[in-house]
Amino acid sequence: MIDLLIKNGAVITMDAKRTVIENCDVAIDKGKIVSIGVGLRLDAKKTLQANGCVVCPGFVNGHSHVYQSLIEGIGYDMHFDPWNWRFLFPVVSKVTQENAQAGAALAALEMIKNGVTTISDHWYLHTDMENINRVTEVFDQAGMRSQMVFGLLDQTFAGERIDSEYMTMIQSEDLLLKEAVRFFKKWHGTKRTTVALGPGSTEDISESLMIKTVQLAKELNINVSTHVAGWIEINSYTMRRFAERDLEHFQTLGLTGPHGVMFHAVWVSDREIDIIAKTGTKVVHCPIANSYLGYGIAPISQMLSRGITVGLGTDGAASYTYDMLEVGRTAGILQKATKLDAESVTAEQIMEMLTIQGAKVLGLDEEVGSLETGKKADVIVVEFNAPHLLPGGRWLPKLIYSARGSDVLHTIIEGQVIMENRKVLSMDENKVMADAIANREDLVLRAGQETRDLLAAPWPESGPAWRSIAKKLI
Ligand SMILES: [Zn+2]
């Protein structure tokens, strides 16, 4: 008697041969896939019928900052600088353990409902060193797989100086290294959680701490994951300070290599793409957040053609969504439009980035990212009986270009049915949403006048709403 049988789905396995099998069953026992095939005759404690559905690996969100889920919509249509200075800092510098927990729960709920089974969260908001533990507990209890990237910022936050009243999340080198080791020991390899180290960006971390971080990651044999060349100004900054471009500088410091994960990688030269390819460095592409903040579009079609491992991520509030299908579709469409080449990124490549390549970025591809016997059972079932998905035919292009996260019917993580018929079983959905509302109110109340002004900004006569109140903020 096995634990779970998913019957009669169109199974997109994402195995090495990229096998797709119609009317296929997936058998799961003790958290792992034990058999995949047509007409399996096995007794199961639980059976999910998947007729007319796609069954595929759960999606991997390779980069996020879930604390921002509580603050979406307060400041909007802003460039990176005002977005940080006027909107982000005044609110997030006040985040408490309870706020952190409520934000993570809201994000986890949204992700599970969108078929995300693995989340990599870059948590640097050490306003309280306990925050990251609370967030990791939320993911753990929600049943999600997570790679928690322990943030290290000892110098600035997005270029803001440490002497600002808002910089409550910046901590000293000694404390960060000590806490990173403590966090690693507590969580790495426990149940579904792994740990990585996460310098903020070149400007956020001192050279001394950066070098020690790389050394520590090597000792612990874990990823170092950081923002690289995301916004165009960072290259000028790095050039001015170190006479190198951003990714070149990371190469000099030893961050590149199979354990190096680069978020964004928008402003990379051909030479730097060459470095990424030759060193086996991984990239997480966040197309919606990059577009929304006016960062630009990462050259992922070149990266993919060089064999670079690229995953996809939402990043924080600048995505306004945790729907990875939306992220994947956007990644493809941006490349097609800007390269004037409909073939520049294919549906198959987008599916790879969403699943097996995303898992590879996090070093989890031996365990998850594809449906294969012996692998951990992170599986989603997507309902295709809907006007925007019918009539059928080839499943993959409709999944990638038409389906939405809300079409995910069941989410299964390590054999546990976390969502069944769109009802999340591992969380109290109403409580999570009520807590989110209460914590958002609490944060806004304590954030101060700038935030209240942003929320009260009137419909502008022209241009972005925040500008109509900007004079008062300077
Ligand atoms: Zn980010």
User: pLDDT tens digit string along 360-396?
Assistant: 999 999 999 999 999 999 999 999 999 999 987 799 9
Q: How far, in Å, is the centroid of ligand 1 from the Cα of 315?
A: 5
Torsion over CA: 300, 303, 307, 311 (sign): negative
Token couple for 357 = 């390549």
Band (471; pLDDT cuts 50, 70, 90): low
Band (201; pLDDT cuts 50, 70, 90): very high
What is the CA angle 134-139-141, rounded to 5? 90
Model confidence, pTM = 0.97
Q: How far, in Å, is the centroid of ligand 1 from the Cα of 266?
A: 13
Position with higher pLDDT, 131 vs 85: 131
Same domain, 251 and 119: yes
Band (162; pLDDT cuts 50, 70, 90): confident
Same domain, 374 and 355: no
467 falls within a domain = no
Same domain, 176 and 190: yes
What pLDDT does 112 receive? 98
Q: How far, in Å, is the centroid of ligand 1 from the Cα of 317?
A: 10
Same domain, 308 and 218: yes
What is the CA angle 134-363-119, rounded to 5? 35
Q: 362's torsion region: left (phi>0), alpha (psi -120 to 50) or beta?
A: alpha
Amino acid in the structure at residue 9: G
Band (474; pLDDT cuts 50, 70, 90): very low
Task: Give the domain-ending residue among 361, 392, 413.
Answer: 361
Q: Is the pLDDT of residue 250 over 90?
A: yes
Task: Give the domain-ending residue among 407, 423, 439.
Answer: 423
Q: How far, in Å, is the centroid of ligand 1 from the Cα of 248?
A: 20
> Above pLDDT 70, what percent of the chain?
99
Segment 189-196 mean pLDDT: 96
In degrees to the nearest 10, what's the CA dihedral of 42, 43, 45, 47? 60
DSSP letters along 94-113, please? T--HHHHHHHHHHHHHHHHH
Q: Is the pLDDT of residue 253 over 50?
A: yes
Q: Is the pLDDT of residue 16 over 80?
A: yes
Same domain, 271 and 396: no
Q: How many domains does the chain have?
A: 2
Same domain, 290 and 146: yes
Q: CA-CA distance, 380 to 90, in Å (whole number)?
A: 38
Runs of H (alpha helix) within 22-94: 80-82, 89-92
Same domain, 255 and 384: no
Q: Is the pLDDT of residue 470 over 80?
A: no
Q: How far, in Å, is the centroid of ligand 1 from the Cα of 394?
A: 35
Band (468; pLDDT cuts 50, 70, 90): confident
Same domain, 275 and 406: no
CB 324 within 8 A of CB 312: yes
What average pLDDT does the structure give for the chain?
95
Amino acid in the structure at residue 423: K
Q: How far, in Å, is the centroid of ligand 1 from the Cα of 284?
A: 10
Q: Is the pLDDT of residue 72 over 60?
A: yes
> Reading across the β-sheet that carries 193-199, which strands appear in turn?
59-64, 116-123, 145-152, 193-199, 224-228, 260-264, 282-285, 310-312
Q: How far, in Å, is the centroid of ligand 1 from the Cα of 451?
A: 22
- Domain residues for the domain of 303 are 59-361
Q: How far, in Å, is the centroid of ligand 1 from the Cα of 316?
A: 6
Same domain, 83 and 30: no
Peptide bond into 391 cis (omega under 30): yes
| β pairing state of 193-199 and 145-152 | parallel
**CATH at 76:** 3.20.20.140
9 falls within a domain = yes
Q: How far, in Å, is the centroid of ligand 1 from the Cα of 341?
A: 28
What pLDDT does 393 receive? 76
Same domain, 257 and 231: yes
Band (472; pLDDT cuts 50, 70, 90): low
The 10s digit of each residue's pLDDT in 307-347 is: 999 999 999 988 899 999 999 999 999 999 999 999 999 99
Q: Spell out the residues 6+ positions from residue 97 whose beta carbon is closer than 8 angstroms to its own.
A: 128, 130, 131, 134
Token couple for 73 = 């919509």
> Above pLDDT 90, what percent of the chain?
89
Q: CA-CA distance, 160 to 301, in Å (whole number)?
A: 33
Band (146; pLDDT cuts 50, 70, 90): very high
449 falls within a domain = no
Same domain, 289 and 396: no
